[in-house]
Structure 1
Amino acid sequence: MTTVIFVHGTGIREPEYNETFEIIEQKIHAERPDIKVAPCLWGALGARFNGNRASVPLEDATLALSPGEEDADIVLWGQLYRDPLYELRLFSLKPIESGNPFGEQPGDVLQSRVASLTPTLELEAKLQEAGIAEIFAQAREAVIRSKPYHQALLRVSESDLSEYYAAIARAIAAQAMFLSEQQEKFPPILTDAQLRDNVVELLTLALGDAELGLVGWFLKPLVELALPMGTNYVRGNRLELTDKISPMPGDILLYQTRGEKIRAFIQEQIAQAEPPVVLLAHSLGGIACVDLLVQQQLSQVELLVTVGSQAPFLYEINALHSLEYGQLLPEHFPEWLNIYDLRDFLSYVGNKIFPDRVQDVPVDSRQPFPRSHGAYWTNAKTWEAIISRLP
């Protein structure tokens, strides 16, 4: 029986690993139920504060954000992931049009439809698939109670009423994703752009006849406002920021200086698995697997699959632990499939660095960075590349 061992990347701990592992197991078993999928959760060996954060100063700190130059839809979602109410804030910048001050206002009609929305059976099923059905009502209430939402309602006119439905649908979906991450839940919608867009489309249609795309007047200010917002500073408590951003670089630094325990742990999981073995490794997990397979001749490993990997980059700058630049991969190194995404700035290609030893396959998550770095597992192209190559 073939065994696929999933080796995770940086900053991952047990709750998120379990969610991702479940997705991977489902994807593989849908095509190859005969394959055993085994975990390799090395996160317990990753970076941690040994001195209870004694090295962290208590003053407020700043964290700079720098967006990439992407199309308007990707830019928009990049902002919504950070601020679910971002689009509604832009709508609130529109001038208030004069109209009949008596009777029901267009904003009242909009509020009534949003507040009384009952998901259709199709929408409910899609919310379940996306993993946000249980949190949907809470997300909608958070949007309805927000100041940007009420400010936007004041700008609604009869002529542009339908333009607001998609914006509100995106705000609710983004709020559901935001709340999920706050609760340390990692539903499929977080990384599956197509699933996200399907939820928004069905939610928009449930609210009323509407334009599903971005409104024309909105495109130019969206890009102009998104770019300077990305260079602003986010201020917060230093300890909170450090806890949030330290796992990923911490794991990388720990591995580069003392990675032998992590490699030994991976080798132990391989030894316990029924051959032939496939290593499915993400990010730093791919670096560790490359190092291990260069240093050790593990004949039971028939295929290495790296996803969002920096191993080729580290080799090119002569920073790969196991192999100096200019040295060749050893003959015992297994077949190597490398999957990358041009939107993932932490993914690299290997064929030009290791000619005829690496097969590079591109995918497109349609997600902004850094979310694109974790979006491979819900991408159909990823699994098309992997499944066809499994022993």
Structure 2
Amino acid sequence: MGESRSVLKERNVQLYFSGLLLSYFGTTAMSLVVGVWVKTLTGSNSLAGLVGLCMWLPVPLAPAIGLVADRVRRRRLLVVTNLAMVAVLAPLLLVDGPAMLWLVFAVMTLYGVEGVLVTAAEPPLLTAMLPADQLTRINGLRMSLQEGMKLVAPAAGTALFLAWGAHPVVVLDAATFAAAGLATMSIRVAEPAPTRRTERWSTQVAEGLRYLVGQPVLRRMMIGSPVAMFVAGVAGTAGWALVDQGMHRAPTFMGVLAPVQGAGSVVAGLLAATLARRIGTARLVGVGMAIVAGGVAFRVFPTLPTVLAGTVCNGVGLVWVIIGALTLVQQITPNELLGRTSATMSTLVYGGTPVGIALGSGLAGVLDFRVIFGALAVLAGGAAALLLRRAGTPAEPVPA
């Protein structure tokens, strides 16, 4: 904890986290409110869900978008992206009824493009700002901040929407993007000059994936880490049956479990660097996956203590998997490939979530929740064994 406070004293880190705090707050609030807004305008649950899907549509393009981040200076790209989002969000102020709904879907698709760009550009910027041994610490603090915002921003955004409608939330989100852009603009860092390449565009796009596949430790992360988010997606949908049929509680009890998981995630993010220093970043991922396996196993038994314990395990384990996998990419990948490898790994890891949600929605109607959680525990346990096998020593190699 003391080392985390020491890192936060650096001017660049303070500016970075100031922008991140504002950006996370606005984005988290907007991501929830936009679904409520569409539901209010149309009365349609499917359209309310579809607007969330729009933010996932650019994800398959992540390797190509990552190439953009590898061909320009990353700080400048983040500044331009944040400031451009002010203009992107402005048309939402024109939406006043279902006839303008297409504009909401278009803007939220661009919102997804912004998310992929940031995912590709931030890791290489951080590697230019910080020594390699500080990356796990900063990534842990980022994850704690992100999860902490999930405990605060949705309630604030919902309250604003109920009081004055969606337009003030749009203005708030645009203001946080502008502030994040200005904070990033103030960062002073010597970034490596982008390399000019003559290969075909398709060859350069595929280079990030080839590099990930060619590194044994990253190849294991590509196979094992997405399982964690897949398990979380299936477990999230099966959780409704657990609460209803197993615990015999109202659906609103899910609202109690969400902050419990969030609290576990915040603590896990703060502890990630200390644990990684002792056992190694690769083993951090494997331990996280093992905790995810324990979390879903706990929920086979529908009692309050086991469900709460399983929910905390889910929050802790998922965060350690994400932090470890993405930090390893930063530590091992050459700078000129880091945008593409970061975007590709993030796509693989987070892409397990919508697949898990879709499958879980189907399974919950035909299988008992105990069977689902038991099967998930076996799957996550197998992934943990894969990740822990030859996971390496506490000091992973970092290329010059």
TM-score (norm 2): 0.24
State which structure, 1 or 2, has the greater radius of gyration over its C-alpha atoms: 1
TM-score when normalising by structure 1: 0.24
The answer to which structure has the higher helix fraction is: 2
